[in-house]
Amino acid sequence: MKITFDWLKEHLKINSKEKDLLEKLTNIGLEVETVENLSSGTELFKIAKVIKTKKHPNADRLKICDVDIGKGEFKKVVCGAPNAREGLITIYAPPGAVIPKTQTKLVVAKIRDVISYGMLCSESELNLSDESEGIVELSTSKYQKKIGHRYFLESKTNTIDLSITPNRPDCLGVRGVARDLAASGFGKLINSKEKKIKSNIKHSLKVKINKEKNQGCSVFGSCLIENVKNTESPQWLKDKLISVGQKPISAIVDITNYVMLDINRPLHAYDADKIEKGLIIRNSKSGEEFSALDNKSYKLEKDMCVISDANGILGLGGIIGGTRSGTELDTKNILLESAYFKPRSIRNTAKKLNIDTDAKFRFERGIDPLSIEEGLNKAAFLIKEICGGEISKIDIQKTESYKINKISFNPSLFEKISGFKISNREMIKILDDLGFKSKKERKYFSLTIPSWRPDITQEIDIVEELVRISGFEKIKIVDPIKERTRSTLTKSQKLFHFLQRSIASKGYLEAITWSFSDSNYNDHFKGKCEDIRIVNPISSELNVLRNSIYSNLIMYMRKNLDRGFKDLSIFEIGPIFTGPNPGEQNTVICGLSAGKKSRLSWIDKERDIDVFDVKRDVVQTLVEAGYSSEKFFIDDKTPKYYHPGKSGRLFLNQDKDQAIAYFGEIHPNILKKIDLKTESLVGFEIFMDNLKLTDKTLNNQKRKFEVSDFQKSERDFAFIVSKDLKAQDLINVVSNIDQKLISNIRIFDVYEGENIPENQKSIAINITIQSNEKTLNDNDLEKINNLIIKTVENKTGAKIRS
């Protein structure tokens, strides 16, 4: 919504400065977005003199002019005007200037191999007149001494652009803004003197609002103006429209626009001669078509509010007029419309047809239903003044009458909400200034709500008005109390926080990627999930909700590898989606590592990063988070995007309730498909929602502190086992032999090949044996050794290696 201080002053008696105005506007909730000087940019157009002309070597009609632009500066300009001649005083536009007519910005240009610095302008290009033959000729006597000066006068007018919140349709007119300012003590609102149409001329066009369900129009006011002569608008009107960024068209259109901008009363002018046998306001039928003033043709759905005549649709009520009945310069008789369209109907229609117009914007927010006659009066008189003609009587058709809205307001609510006090008298004053009619009834105010304030329906709305106008700076700060009655984070939030930092501490950089993904990537990782499509994605590359964090992470990993980085670890903790409904999401922490360990190290041997690196990160993180690794159970059933032989899934215990994590090499086929090049790529996913949380406090989670100081002894065993035997099973067998004596088991060698039969392997383990009751003697040790060998051989088919 654009206004100028001058226009405001037509409604507001005021002595203050524009600077104070800007601050006040923002303080009462009419936020000033930008302030722009109307003449900004015109200072570039300079009075200049052509010193010398010379024919362009490569074009017959072009000349190269040496132009004196003042202050001893001269420019070469290529010009095609026949009147460009030595001694001519004209207007020069330098590179950077914007030509008013075409709105194009000049640049230094090569015209047929000759460089031209700027341009000499015609009157038409400067919007001074329609004269486009040749460049401007300024009188020598008048301008001889002004060479180098600006041609256009500097304007003092600033265009102030306000951001009006959707609840304030009344402030979409200059008068509404003025009213708010006056209420806040910034000037005094000038009473508008409304001149009423008194006419004996009959309104000869029949208008009818069809009574039907969902009729979007409740009032339709109109008058005829006959024998007008439509013309260009007078300068004052043009200036006014230009000052708020509107383009003047013709007097009749300009006047309806002016009234709309002034008092937020949209109007529409029809060429009355093009209306066939009166107007009918009705609901559209499905499939009806009409061509609108935006040069588009619309196919309507059922029940849209249309203005029609005997030949069909003339316009979409309150949204856009049609080409068939539009006014033109030769229009003689006009019908002026001033109506009330219901916001819901406007919004539905505009949304379905995807039309956005100024009228629609205003009607969907709510137009003052009592401004119908005021709008007709104001516009009709202006038309008569500018275009002549005879005004008919006003005709008003109604299907509903306006009901006065009242509200009972308890003034004590103000302090209860705002925390500060103002007197009842001040409240009444503010509300009166805003147009409320107030009456005190015992403890309450009985308030009549102004017809232009559809946003006010309950007491809290009144509080808002009072706080806004009194000023938010009056609210006193109440310092917060430093007291905590509930813990800040829940157990699972603490776990989230812990896992995030635990993974990062292992050398992973945290990334945050979008929750949506490219279905081409997501397809690799979605498993059994259905695509969760976004109906209106921002681009086809972001068309589904991610079923896995890998979908995004691997793409960014590739981008980073393409940047030339080789050894990288990144992770993200966030949601993945399992279905399209609220809550069908899980929190996952997912990481990827690429490249080598110890690349180009002078001291360590470099090697590819592998599945046991990533397994360590997962296990260590879980252990750090408080889970006991002794109970972990691991198998090799992993989703298809992992390397089938080099990946695993982890359970917290042997019950295999829910997998807590997957880890492993990413399937080489996927790397090939997405063209990701690295020596090795491994990754992991930890499913936070599957991690069981304990209710115990940290203190209760710890076991009693018990250690044994009796001598411990270590024994090594090498077993020949079947190649399929899992190390995990071997360890389980051993640890279950005597949990009181066997305190630690380590695998220190795995070997297959020479000296080992085919399909078998050798596993060497180191076992720590310690009692917490006594020092074990040779006999005890021998007994346990034999038991270990016997049990392992029996349970796994192993043979001790001699």
Residue from the set 372, 463, 681, 763 that interacts with other proteins by CB under 8 A: 463
Site for other proteins in 553-572 (CB under 8 A): 553, 556, 559-560, 563, 565, 567-570
Site for other proteins in 119-178 (CB under 8 A): 165-168
Q: Which of 112, 192, 195, 472 binds other proteins (CB under 8 A)?
A: 472
Question: Shortest distance, CB of residue 748 to other proteins, whole angstroms?
Answer: 22
Choosing from 585, 621, 647, 680, the residue that interacts with other proteins (CB under 8 A) is 585
SS3 content of the chain, % helix, strand, coil (to 5): 30, 25, 45
Among positions 388-447, residues that touch other proteins (CB under 8 A) are 416-420
Q: Which stretch binds other proteins (CB under 8 A): 150-158, 388-396, 527-535, 692-700?
A: 527-535
Among residues 116, 119, 114, 100, the alpha carbon closest in space to that of 48 is found at 119
> For other proteins, which is the closer residue by CB, 282 or 558?
558
Residue ranges in 476-515 that form contacts with other proteins under rule CB under 8 A: 476-490, 493, 497, 500-515
Considering only the stretches 145-153, 229-237, 394-402, 465-473, report the one whose residues sit in contact with other proteins under the rule CB under 8 A: 465-473
Q: Can residue 551 be called a binding residue for other proteins (CB under 8 A)?
A: no
Q: How many CB atoms lie within 10 A of CB 630?
A: 9
**Helix H or strand E segment including 643:** strand 642-651
**Residue 614 beta carbon to other proteins: minimum distance, rounded to whole angstroms:** 14
Under 8 Å between Cβ of 316 and 349 = yes
Q: Which two tokens stand for residue 51?
A: 């010193």
Q: Which of 10, 31, 400, 749 binds other proteins (CB under 8 A)?
A: 31
Asked whether position 196 contacts other proteins by CB under 8 A, the answer is no
- Least spacing, CB of residue 432 vs other proteins, in Å: 20
Minimum distance from residue 2 beta carbon to other proteins (Å): 19
Q: How far is the CB of 344 from other proteins (least distance, A)?
A: 4
Question: Which residue in 144, 210, 601, 744 binds other proteins (CB under 8 A)?
Answer: 601
Find, among 168, 67, 160, the residue nearest to 120 by Cα: 67
The residues in 51-80 that bind other proteins, with binding defined as CB under 8 A, are none
- CB-wise, 698 or 707, nearer to other proteins? 698
Contact 566, 595 (CB under 8 A): yes
Is residue 41 a contact point for other proteins (CB under 8 A)? no
Q: Nearer Cβ to other proteins, position 265 or 342? A: 342
Place of tokens 């005549």: 309
Q: How far is the CB of 487 from other proteins (least distance, A)?
A: 7
Q: Which residue's CB is nearer to other proteins, number 230 or number 348?
A: 348
- What part of residues 304-343 is at the interface with other proteins (CB under 8 A)? 343
Number of chain residues interacting with other proteins (CB under 8 A): 99
Give the pairing type, strands 207-209 and 279-283: parallel
Which residues, in sequence order, are bridge partners of residue 108?
Answer: none
Q: 214 Cβ partners below 8 Å, 6+ apart?
A: 283, 303, 345
Least distance in Å: CB of 84 to other proteins? 43
Q: Distance between CA 71 and CA 92 in Å, rounded?
A: 14
- Angle formed by the axes of helices 372-387 and 251-263, nearest 10°: 150
Tell whether residue 461 is a contact of other proteins (CB under 8 A): yes
CA distance 545 to 526: 10
Least distance between other proteins and beta carbon 657 (Å): 24
Task: Tell me: does residue 468 bind other proteins (CB under 8 A).
Answer: yes
Tokens representing 210 are: 């069809």
Closest CB 597 distance from other proteins, rounded Å: 8
Bridge partners, residue 34, by sequence? 161
Cβ-contact 221, 294 below 8 angstroms: no
What are the residues whose beta carbons fall under 8 Å from the beta carbon of 379, sequence distance 6 or more?
255, 256, 259, 267, 336, 338
Residue number with CB closer to other proteins (276 or 531):
531
- Residue 344 touches other proteins, criterion: CB under 8 A: yes
Q: Which of 153, 404, 603, 698 binds other proteins (CB under 8 A)?
A: 603
Q: What mask, x for binding other proteins by CB under 8 A, covers residues 352 to 381? A: ------------xx----------------
Of positions 222, 283, 348, 647, contacts other proteins by CB under 8 A? 348
Let me know: does 719 contact 800? Beta carbons within 8 Å.
yes
Q: Is 575 in the site for other proteins (CB under 8 A)?
A: yes
Q: How far is CA 61 from CA 119, 756, 781, in A?
A: 16, 98, 114
Query: Torsions phi, psi of 492, nearest 5?
Result: -70, -30
Two tokens at 440?
A: 């005190």
Q: Supply φ then ψ for residue 92, to 5 degrees.
A: -110, 135
Among 135, 267, 334, 532, binds other proteins (CB under 8 A): 532
User: Contact, 180 vs 171, CB < 8 A?
Assistant: yes
User: Binding residue for other proteins (CB under 8 A) from 102, 141, 581, 777?
Assistant: 581
The CA–CA distances, whole Å, from 655 to 93, 267, 631 equal 83, 75, 10
Shortest reach from residue 256's CB to other proteins, in Å: 23
Region of 72 (left: φ > 0; alpha: ψ -120 to 50; beta: rest) is left
In the bound complex, what is the minimum distance in angstroms from residue 440's beta carbon to other proteins? Answer: 22
Q: Is residue 346 within 8 Å of 195, Cβ to Cβ?
A: no
Find the binder of other proteins among 27, 39, 438, 446 (CB under 8 A): 27
**Contact stretch for other proteins (CB under 8 A) within 21-29, 235-243, 719-727, 747-755:** 21-29
Residue 207 host element (H or E)? strand 207-209
One of 580, 644, 757, 797 touching other proteins (CB under 8 A): 580
Contacts of 31 (CB under 8 A, 6+ apart): 25, 162, 163
Candidate segments 67-75, 530-538, 669-677, 721-729, binder of other proteins by CB under 8 A? 530-538
Instruction: Please give the full DSSP string across 702-751, using - where no structure is assigned.
Output: SPP-----S--EEEEEEEEEETT--HHHHHHHHHTT-TTTEEEEEEEEEE
